[in-house]
Structure 1
Amino acid sequence: MKAILSTILATAITTAAFAQSPDKALARVKYSFTHIQDTTQRDKPYTENMLLVIGKNASVYTSYDKLNSAIAMNQQLQEQIRNNAGGPQSISIKRTSSKPTNGLDYFFFVKENKFVTKERLFNNYLIEEEAPKISWKITKDTASFSGVHCQKATTHFKGRNWIAWYAPDMPFQSGPWKLNGLPGLIVEAYDEKKEVQFQFAGIDKVDETNVATTIEEKPISGNVVKVMGMDGADAYLGSEIKLPADALKTTQKELDKLKEARDKDPQGFLNAQLANSGIQGSFKMNTNTQMRPAGTAGPVKITINNPIELPEKK
């Protein structure tokens, strides 16, 4: 445990002090994501419902399925805390679904030209980089998706040839995943082999009637929600797009070290994180407990020989 705690302390470089200011959320776009992760099983693609929250100067892309799962798990957690009031905090959370979800969230800040990837390993960790420069070629082809007028654009990005359909009447430079930089919201996108597809599933305007302030309540044991790997939904279902206030800025190299420590000794990793956070109580892992971002681990190993980002051919 001491070794794991040392790794944790070394990994947390600093509390994130990004210059990016919160941006008002204007709309939420839903996508149906399909990805042939294993080329030996093309008839069994990975699927997931995704969400893009867009503002004038920022956006965040996350798993809609993950949000719904977190809400359900949080309800279980709150019920157990109420039932255990005054007694030992022994928590057992059952998965609401065995299906893995994407554990990464992508923030794009247009003015600052910054791209921030968020991943949760007990705490939120942020990796900042310059926004990827995508050289789009806009064509004259047009199409309509659920009544949204779109124009076609093509590019080569991250090892794939992409086709995107963007809406000129929606002046947002964002899109699903890391796709951005067109003069309009990217409504649909797919690579030329259609091994990776982001299909438009609807758009909602953010207003006072559909804003959820948070999915977190105030539990008896203050940080217990963090133990279970659940986020508040402010950055996704609230009125603002913002980075987690308690996030830690790190590098991919240091984050990989932390994941290695977690995989070697999951229970020791949890105990070390609890000790580092000053949380009191007895928390034990079980096979039904989701202790890490879904999609990064689980009871079933997923073969991925066809990642979204492919190496460039030399």
Structure 2
Amino acid sequence: MKTLLTTYFVILFSTISFAQKPDKVLARVKYSFIHIRDTTQKNNPYTENMLLVIGKNASVFTSLDRLERELDLPKAKRAPGSPFKPINQVDLYFFAKENKLMSRERFMNAYYLIDEPSQQINWKITKDTTSFNGVHCKKATATFKGRNWIAWYAPELPFQSGPWKLNGLPGLIIQANDDKKEVQFLFDGIDNLKKENLSAEQIELAKVYDKSFFFSTEIALQKDAKITARAEFDKIMDLFKKDPKGFIAAASGTPRDKVFIGGSMTGVSHTTINNPIELPEKK
């Protein structure tokens, strides 16, 4: 295990060159994420509040619920005795000009920027139109990651970004769902970046948000994160999943019998997922 780990870590730590200048934040869009993770519990879907931070070229999609929990906001605190809700721990960066997607994940007390395989989404734009909270949108459809997607994008907002890995349309993707509505990203508003006409309470809340990496004035990749490819990162994760104790012992030098792996710190296990967002590609 130790020899194998050494080989993989050498590959994992080899840096992929990707120079990306910080991009000024131009908008922040909120989405309500609804996902039927367990098809035996269709009436009890997973829900999470998400955030898309957009610049001229770059964007990053993250969990707003996670950010608010990290900022220790009162509304993010759970009531005593209530179940602990797992939240999304992966951040997705998209760079429009390069058509490049990167994810940011934490593993073994370190952050990794993972170079995802690029994939052009073959959107078909239709004549259908609608509006969400006064934002005029056009409809587009595509088959992507094993699902048939319906997206509504706003031509008046000239960003090629969208929620999750959905991107590449001539306008910001305001709302999207698969044709079975097992996965939905519902538009929940655009933040007022100029902080004009805000109440005193909103101004104070904005000061708290400003402490977050995702509420700064620029979109930038984490400087101290290790950059690697998806295939190499997955090899390491597979080793960890097969033998967590052996992996930690080999990586840390701690004797195997001294490695302790407990259950969930909250005492709550993760929800069954038999219906992931990404499904096998249709042939």
Q: Taking structure 1 as reference, are residues 266 and 45 closer, same or farther at Cα in structure 2, changes over 3 Å only?
A: farther
Distance change in 2, residues 1:9/1:171 (3 Å): same
Q: Which residue of 2 aligns with 1:72?
A: 72
Match of 1:306 among 267, 270, 275: 275
Distance 1:305 1:287, change over 3 A: closer
Opposite residue 160 of structure 1, the aligned amino acid is R
Pair 1:203–1:245, CA change in 2 (3 A): same
Aligned-residue sequence identity (percent) comes to 54
The alignment covers a number of residue pairs equal to 261
Distance of 1:36 and 1:266 partners within structure 2: 32
Shift of the alpha carbon at 1:2?
A: 6.0
Checking the alignment, whether the CA contact within 8 Å between 2:28 and 2:54 is kept in structure 1 is: yes
Report Cα offsets for 1:183-202 as digits up to 9, x if no partner: 11100000111010000011
Gaps of 5+ in 1: 74-95, 216-232, 276-283, 291-297
Q: Following the alignment from structure 1 to structure 2, what is the Cα–Cα distance between the partners of residues 289 and 105?
A: 23
Equivalent residues of 1:7, 1:258 under 8 A apart: no
Residue 87 (structure 2) pairs with residue 109 (structure 1): no
What are structure 2's unaligned runs of at least 5 residues?
Answer: 74-81, 196-202, 255-259
Q: Aligned pair in 2 of structure 1 residues 239, 270: CA closer, same or farther (>3 Å)? A: farther
Q: TM-score, structure 1 length as denominator?
A: 0.72
- Aligned partner of 1:102: which letter? N
- Could you say which residue in structure 2 is the equivalent of 1:188? 175
- Deviation track 1:265-309 (CA, whole Å, cap 9, x = no partner) reads 46973995699xxxxxxxx9866659xxxxxxx841432221111
Deviations 1:210-265 (A, max 9, x none): 476864xxxxxxxxxxxxxxxxx32x111111111011122333323433454434
Paired residue secondary structure (2:39): coil
Distance in 2 (CA, whole Å) between partners of 1:16 and 1:125 is: 12
8 Å contact from structure 1 (residues 4, 261) kept in 2? no
1:17 Cα offset (Å): 4.0
Are the structure 2 counterparts of residues 97 and 56 from structure 1 closer, same or farther at C-alpha, using a change threshold of 3 Å?
farther
Q: Which residue number corresponds to residue 145 of structure 2?
A: 158
> What secondary structure, in the 3-state scheme, does the structure 2 residue paired with 1:171 have?
coil
Deviation at 1:9, TM superposition (A): 3.6
Letter in 1 for 2:279: L
Higher relative contact order (CA 8 A, sep 6+): 1
1:97-246 matches, cutoff 5 A = 98-121=84-107, 122-129=109-116, 131-207=118-194, 210=206, 215=211, 233-234=212-213, 236-246=214-224
In structure 2, relative to structure 1, the CA distance for the partners of 1:168 and 1:124 (3 Å cut) is: same
- Give the residue type in structure 2 aligned to 1:146: N
Inter-partner Cα distance in structure 1 for 2:72 and 2:264: 14
Aligned mates of 1:4, 1:211 — CA distance in 2: 47
Q: TM-score, normalised by structure 2?
A: 0.79
Cα deviation digits, residues 42-61 of structure 1 (max 9, x gap): 11111111100001111000
Secondary structure of the structure 2 residue equivalent to 1:10: helix
Give 2:200's aligned residue.
Answer: none
The residue correspondences of 1:29-108 to structure 2 (distance < 5 A) are 29-72=29-72, 98-108=84-94
| Structure-2 change in CA distance of 1:40 and 1:239 (3 Å) | same
Could you tell me how far apart the structure 1 residues matched to 2:207 and 2:171 are? 24
